[in-house]
Structures are given as C-alpha cells and as structure tokens.
Amino acid sequence: MSLRGSMTVAGVEWSKLFAQLKVRLALAACAVSPFAFAAAMRMQSSLPTDTLFGRSVTDSGFAVPLVVLGFAALWVFPVLAGIVGGDVFSAEDRYGTWSTVLTRSSSRVEIFAGKVFAALAFSAIAVAVLAIGSVAAGALVVGRQPLINLSGVLLPPGQAMVRVGLAWASVLLPVFGFTALAVLISIVTRSSAAGVGLPVVAALTMQLFCIPGLPFDRPPAAHDVRVRRLARPSDRAVVLQAPPLRDDSQLSVRGRLPCRRVPRAAAPGRRKTMSDQSIRTRALLAALTALALSGCGASPITSTRIERALETTFANLVELQVSRMGLGPMTAPDFAVTAICHRAADNNDAGAGEWSCTLVWQGPDRRTLRDTYDLFVATDGCFNATVAGENIGGPTLTTQDGRQVKNHLYAFESCFDPT
C-alpha cells in the first residue's frame, strides 16, 4: 500500500461524489440553513429556551452557531456521515462495478483506504461548511455582541469566537466515528439504505439512553457531548456545547478495525447467501446494543456537583447584573453564594430530572437573600434554572435611570462535568 495510490483512489472517489446531486444539495443546505434559522429567530418572539444558548440567540450572534451545533449533534451529523460513508462501498455492489474497480492498478488495500478517506473528508468538509455558515449567519443577522457563557461570564467577541471554533472542532472525532460506523454497515449489509439509516438509528438510541427517568441515565463519558472547561480562569468554567466523544470515538475505532479485510470478502466471485448476510447484520446490531448498554451504571448527577456549578454561575451572573443595573462595582466572591439542592420527586440526591435548589447570598446592600430555583438537569450535566417566586423580578428590570435591561437571574442555564 502506498499513500500516493490511496490518494489517487480518493481523488477518483471525490470526482464521483461531486457529480452526485445529493452531495451538492447536502453541502448547499449546510451553508444556507443557518441563515434561515437566524432569520426565523429574529422574526419570532419565542426562543428555543430548552436548548443551551437558546435564550441568547437574539442577544449575541455567537450563540447562533452553538444552538445550531446542539441540533446538528443530535440529527444532522449522523445523516451527513451516512450520506457518503453509508454508500461508498455498497454503491459498487448496487451497480455491479466491483469487477471494474478491482482490476485497476491500485491494490485492494489502496482502494479501501481511498474510499474511507473520501468518506471522512466529506464529513469534515460538511461540518466545516455548516460551522462557517452558522458563524456567518450569527454575525450578519444578529451581530457580534459579547456572549455570556454557561458559567455566567461575559466573553468579548474575540474570546467567544475562539470558544465557538473549539466547540465545532471537537465534534470532528464523533463525526468520524459515525462515518466509520456507516462504512462498516455499508460493507456488512451491502445496502446503501442501511448504511445511511442505521447510523441515525444509533444516534437516536444514544439519545433514548440519556432520557431522565430511564435506568440508563448515566452518560457515556459525556453525551451530546459538551466541550467542557476549555479554560477556567479564577474558577470560571467555560463550558460550550458539542456532540458525544467517548461513545463515537469508540465507534470510530471499532468501526475501522473490522473493515480492513472486508473489501476482499466483498469482491465478486465470492457469493454470500441470504442467511450469511442475515447473521452478519444481526451480529452488528447486537454489537451496537452492547455498546449502548456499556454506558449504564450509577448516575454521576449528584447534588454536590449541581450546587458547585450553580453557585459559580449564579455569582457570575449577579456580578454581570449589578454592573448592567449601574450599581456599585462588586465581584462574584462578594455575593457569598451558597446552594442547597435536592431532587424534587424523592429524597435521592442523585440522578437527572427535576431538582429544587435554594440559594442563600449577600445582596449589593449586604443583606442576606434567599431564593429558590427549579432546575431540570439532563444526563450530560447541563441544566436549566428558573426562579420560583418573584423575589428576583421578571424577565426584565428597570434601572435607576429608566432603562430596561434583561434580567439574567430570572432564568439561565449552566453545565458541570459529569465524568
């Protein structure tokens, strides 16, 4: 096997891919759809508040690519991985062109490597196009305002852009994992429909295993997966959203190793009976099920972790709110925030779902204040917090000079590392 031979095969595969309408349409959709989303958010009053950074899509253009990333991690990336990866080998079976391909000067290993590289390259390009389109849509439609991160810290545009770039870069490994899975399914089943559809089913299965209340609410290393703690200056955790790492990196490894000897078995002249293919398909499905079950265990969602994340985020948001209200300068430690959290449904202090937290803190006038928040904690360690009562005020507040400012303490989201 030579690198030059593999790159030659990859070049031929790329010329074949770009001649396909579905590939061109997929890339065009990745470039255009973020603009449609940003425009829709600007025109309607309701926001995707159940999504991380959903409350900020009209306040900062840097929130747009992060919201798009959250949705793409669930549905778009598995589809993009399967468009080429799920068809690159099975198409040769469908059109009966293996005899022509395998009689060329390239070896079978070079053909295999070239096809896999072409599939991985398409997935990377599709992610890059979607990322660039999302950033451009946010900047042009909403603007380049500072972004409040998931620890309540206000990031200037330069830092926000770096964090957004790192979040999108972190999804490449999971996307490659789904691409490797699609290639494996394409070879084992010799079906383009299975190669495109089963990675989406696998992604849906991972989501189902992370629904609070099911007995599998322990995430594999991190689901969805979030890029956490990219920087922690003075205990201000910078948490951004991204798709699943451990799950899909395992898929990328387990998806490549069995593929190395497949092209020889897929070559013409070696017939497989329907029973053989059925057995192989069932074995593949059993392996995927076993991989999903490997994430089960004791829940890492504990009251201690929730309280620590809530205290840090709330203190940083109070500092920001006091500054925007035009009150005296104060720093986050001055508010001495203490959180006490428990599950809303039972006395168990672990597990995802609904939580209730009481915050005791020092106000700007040095009075001791007490507020209660209702939290919904997901299995990935991220939660939405909404104040219970009217002590904090409504969604907006009025400053001493009559200005209306957003109340960042009314409802917010945050994350902690569940690993």
154: left (phi over 0), alpha (psi -120 to 50) or beta: beta
> Which amino acid is residue 313, in one-letter code?
T
Q: Which of 78, 86, 72, 89 is nearest to 33 (CA)?
A: 72
Spatial separation of the C-alpha atoms in residues 240 and 227, rounded to whole Å: 5
Identify the burial level of 253 via C-beta atoms within 10 angstroms of its C-beta, where 0-12 means exposed, 13-18 middle and 19 or more buried: exposed
Give the model confidence (pLDDT) of 59-86 as tens digits: 999 999 999 999 998 889 999 988 888 8
Of 318, 289, 294, nearest to 387 (Cα)? 318
| 383 bridge partner residues | 377, 414
Q: At what angle do helices 3-18 and 21-43 cross, to 10 degrees?
A: 70
pLDDT (0 to 100) of residue 85: 81
DSSP secondary structure letters along 215-249: TT-SPSSSSTT-B--S--GGG----B----SHHHH
Q: What is the pLDDT of residue 374?
A: 93
CA–CA gap between residue 41 and residue 374 (Å, rounded): 26
pLDDT at 278: 65
pLDDT tens digits in sequence order for the chain, 419 residues long: 677 777 777 777 777 878 888 889 999 999 999 999 999 988 887 888 888 898 899 899 999 999 999 999 888 999 998 888 888 888 777 777 776 766 666 777 888 888 888 889 899 999 999 999 999 999 999 999 999 999 999 999 999 999 999 999 999 999 999 999 988 888 888 888 888 888 888 888 887 776 665 554 444 443 343 334 333 333 433 333 333 333 333 333 333 333 333 343 343 443 444 456 666 666 666 666 655 555 555 678 888 999 999 999 999 999 999 888 888 778 888 899 999 998 877 667 788 888 999 999 988 888 899 999 999 998 888 999 999 877 788 888 888 888 888 999 999 999 998 87
pLDDT on residue 292: 53
Q: What ranges in 138-171 are assigned the alpha helix state H?
A: 157-169
What's the Cα-to-Cα distance from 270 to each of 36, 86, 195, 264, 275, rounded to whole Å?
Answer: 49, 22, 21, 9, 15
> How far is residue 98's CA from residue 86's CA, in Å, rounded to a whole number?
16
CB contact at 8 A, 317 and 361: no
Burial tier of 290 (Cβ tally within 10 Å: 0-12, 13-18, 19+): exposed
Query: How close are the terminal C-alpha atoms of the chain, in Å?
Result: 40
C-beta neighbour count of 98 within 10 angstroms: 17
- Cα–Cα distance between 72 and 205 in angstroms, integer? 16
Give the Cα separation of 283 and 95 in Å (integer): 26
- The span from the CA of 269 to the CA of 138, in Å, is 54
In sequence order, the β-bridge partners of residue 371 are: 359
Cβ proximity of 101 and 2 under 8 Å: no
87 burial type by CB count under 10 A (0-12 exposed, 13-18 middle, 19+ buried): buried
What is the C-alpha separation between 141 and 327, in angstroms, rounded?
32
CB 240 within 8 A of CB 164: yes
What's the CA gap between 56 and 390, in Å, rounded? 22
Predicted pLDDT at 3: 74
Task: Tell me which DSSP letter residue 156 carries.
Answer: P
Tokens encoding 286: 């059993």
- Whether residue 67 contacts residue 161, with contact meaning beta carbons closer than 8 Å, is answered with no
Q: How far is CA 89 from CA 8, 191, 259, 325, in A?
A: 17, 9, 11, 61
* Domain map (residue ranges) of the chain: 3-293, 303-415
